[in-house]
Amino acid sequence: MTPLITAPDQVAAALAEDPVGFARHADAVLEGADPLTILAWAGRAFGRGLAVTAAMGDTALAHLASRAVPGVHVLFVDTGYHFGETLGTADAVAAAYPVRLITVRAPQSVVSHEAERGRLYRSDSDACCALRKVAPLDSALSGYRAWATGLRRSDSPARALTPTVAWDARREVLKLAPIAAWTEEDLDAYLDAHPEVISNPLLQMGYPSIGCWPCTQPVAEGADPRSGRWAGSGKTECGIHYQI
């Protein structure tokens, strides 16, 4: 297999010529690679054009990125509906990890949003996610050329085919999932090996998957970890990852 190019100008030229082909080749080369290797490659290839997103659950990806690419930009989408524990986790990450935490928000405050649209999370959760999560992140990502997410194939059936690298055509960024292949056991092993990794306290309180407070419930021991998200509605994703 042809080695993966790393020089930023060559990567930029290859992406301009054939973004899908470049992403497929990068995926073939990086599939199975250590997450640190994947992130280090992205850091060299894109420099400050790389962003990492963090939902402020276990923060393992942000920790990995801080080791592989010190100073990396970590984007946290603050919908205005987060648990206090999640906001505290974001603050702790900003203070403890060598990253630049960038909080991304919708232009409209929750007060103004609810005055205009009511409690959209009850009446139309897809529209609420689109306005308070997806659009703000899309806007933030327009300033980057590569984006690393914490998606894992073991998260849910909908994520079972997540590639390690793909071209996100709508946002025009190279999308990386450095821990796509990690199982729950792999994640636990990383957290055991790195006790300094900051974790949202809600993880120990029956919330194995954490989103906004109106749309997240605790789940019973052994239940599908994502079953507490939009419980009873049939909705399983906020829309950020529909394309991968």
> How many Å apart are CA 123 and CA 215, to the nearest integer?
12
Q: Toward ligand SF4, which CB reaches closer, 174 or 212?
A: 212
Smallest separation (angstroms) from ligand SF4 to the CB of 81: 4
Neighbours of 20 (CB within 10 A): 11
Q: Does 133 bind ligand SF4 (CB under 6 A)?
A: yes
In degrees rounded to 5, what are phi and psi of residue 217?
-120, 155
> How many Å apart are CA 71 and CA 98, to the nearest integer?
6
Smallest separation (angstroms) from ligand SF4 to the CB of 113: 9
Q: Could you tell me which stretch among 53-61, 125-133, 165-173, 175-183 binds ligand SF4 (CB under 6 A)? A: 125-133
Q: Toward ligand SF4, which CB reaches closer, 50 or 129?
A: 129
Q: Does 14 bind ligand SF4 (CB under 6 A)?
A: no
> How many Å apart are CA 180 and CA 194, to the nearest integer?
19
Residue whose C-beta lies closest to ligand SF4: 212
Tokens found for residue 10:
């060559």
Grouping H, G, I as helix, E, B as strand and the rest as coil, residue 168 is strand
First to last CA, the chain: 24
Q: Toward ligand SF4, which CB reaches closer, 1 or 111?
A: 111
Amino acid identity of 222? Answer: G
> How many Å apart are CA 113 and CA 110, to the nearest integer?
5
Smallest separation (angstroms) from ligand SF4 to the CB of 191: 25
Q: Toward ligand SF4, which CB reaches closer, 14 or 215?
A: 215
Q: Does 238 bind ligand SF4 (CB under 6 A)?
A: yes
Q: Does 202 bind ligand SF4 (CB under 6 A)?
A: no
Smallest separation (angstroms) from ligand SF4 to the CB of 102: 18
Q: Does 215 bind ligand SF4 (CB under 6 A)?
A: yes
Residues 6+ apart with CB under 8 A from 191: 58, 60, 197, 199
Q: Which helix (H) or strand (E) holds 137?
A: helix 135-141
Tell which residue, 35, 90, 23, 91, has the closest CA to residue 61. 35
Catalytic residues: 238
Q: Does 26 bind ligand SF4 (CB under 6 A)?
A: no
> Per-residue contact track with ligand SF4, 105 to 124, x per CB under 6 A?
----------------x---
Please select the residue that binds ligand SF4; options are 63, 132, 171, 175, rule is CB under 6 A. Answer: 132
Cα dihedral across residues 148, 101, 36, 197: positive or negative: negative
Q: Does 129 bind ligand SF4 (CB under 6 A)?
A: yes
Return residues touching ligand SF4 (CB under 6 A). 79, 81, 121, 125, 128-129, 132-133, 211-212, 214-215, 238
